């Protein structure tokens, strides 16, 4: 009898998790249906940093027969996920919120909002700062006899990798705050390990970006700065165990 009672909460959690996932997928689908008509315009906007750097008379090409159709659709689907990130995070929040204390909820909500904003800032930084510099460098060093004509599918894979790399890298302040809040690390220990973290930022930049020094450096430097931002704000977050004990003492008092 007890085993049946134990499985009931698990089943209810799994059902709720399924419902939350379906709502997140529906949000992505709704955004996709709203944007799919503008798929070619979205691709034109995203490819502008490269097209503006191409020599006069050069253009992008499609080496696969189906690329002119599927590549803009693929980009629109990815954009739909990016746009639906707040809704996806809300579903995550709604799923974990019942298991949090009241003071924990007050801390998690700002983290969810800031994580969305930081992700968008990382994508914007890649588009407006990194892309013009990287594409300008690549097109300027091409041999004289080489005609630059980038395949649209290859370009999409390249920029999506950079978008994800910078979007995730800009989440460093949130990650540091969560690590401090859970008690996994201490701010003082992080300060002592700053030189190693700077080296690690450049190593991570090497693995997350294409094999060129410019994009690696442009990722590593913001990571170092964001580490300092996260380290600063982590001072205002106490470890979760200490907060729980303090709240229990206040409730008992």
Q: What is the pLDDT of residue 1?
A: 46
**Measured CA distances, 243 to 93, 183, 230 (Å):** 20, 11, 20
Q: Name the DSSP class of 146.
A: P
β partners of residue 61:
151
For residues 151 and 67, the answer to whether their CB atoms sit within 8 Å is: yes
Arithmetic mean of pLDDT, 129-147: 80
Is residue 61 helix, strand or coil? strand
Whether residue 28 has pLDDT greater than 50? yes
Q: What is the pLDDT of residue 3?
A: 52
For residues 241 and 222, the answer to whether their CB atoms sit within 8 Å is: no
Structure tokens at 103: 């003071």
Q: Which residues contact 165 (CB under 8 A, 6 or more apart)?
A: 126, 208, 209, 219
Q: What is the pLDDT of residue 34?
A: 95
For residues 35 and 42, the answer to whether their CB atoms sit within 8 Å is: yes
CA dihedral angle for residue 116, residue 119, residue 121, residue 122, rounded to 10 degrees:
180
Confidence of residue 242 (pLDDT cuts 50, 70, 90): low
Whether residue 163 has pLDDT greater than 60? yes
Comparing 106 with 18, which gets the higher pLDDT?
Answer: 18
Provide the whole-model pTM.
0.80
Q: Across the chain, what does the average pLDDT equal?
A: 81
**173-228 pLDDT, tens per residue?**
888 888 887 777 777 787 888 888 888 888 877 776 666 677 778 888 888 888 88
């Amino acid at each position: 009898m007890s085993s049946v009672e134990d499985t009931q909460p698990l089943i209810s959690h799994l059902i709720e998790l399924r419902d939350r996932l379906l709502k997140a997928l529906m949000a992505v689908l709704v955004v996709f249906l709203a944007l799919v008509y503008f798929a070619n315009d979205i691709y034109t906007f995203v490819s502008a940093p490269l097209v503006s750097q191409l020599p006069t008379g050069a253009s992008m090409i499609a080496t696969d027969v189906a690329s002119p159709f599927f590549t803009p659709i693929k980009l629109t689907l990815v954009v739909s996920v990016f746009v639906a990130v707040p809704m996806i995070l809300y579903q995550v929040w709604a799923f974990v919120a019942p298991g949090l204390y009241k003071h924990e909820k007050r801390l998690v909500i700002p983290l969810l909002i800031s994580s969305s904003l930081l992700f968008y800032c990382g994508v914007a930084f890649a588009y407006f700062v990194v892309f013009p510099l990287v594409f300008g460098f690549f097109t300027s060093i091409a041999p004289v006899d080489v005609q630059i004509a980038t395949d649209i599918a290859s370009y999409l894979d390249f920029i999506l990798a950079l978008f994800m790399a910078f979007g995730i890298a800009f989440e460093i302040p949130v990650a540091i705050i969560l690590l401090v809040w859970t008690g996994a690390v201490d701010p003082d220990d992080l300060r002592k390990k700053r030189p190693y973290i700077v080296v690690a930022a450049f190593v991570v930049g090497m693995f997350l970006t294409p094999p060129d020094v410019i994009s690696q450096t442009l990722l590593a430097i913001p990571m170092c700065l964001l580490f300092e931002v996260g380290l600063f704000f982590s001072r205002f977050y106490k470890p979760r165990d200490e907060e729980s004990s303090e709240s229990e003492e206040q409730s008992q008092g």
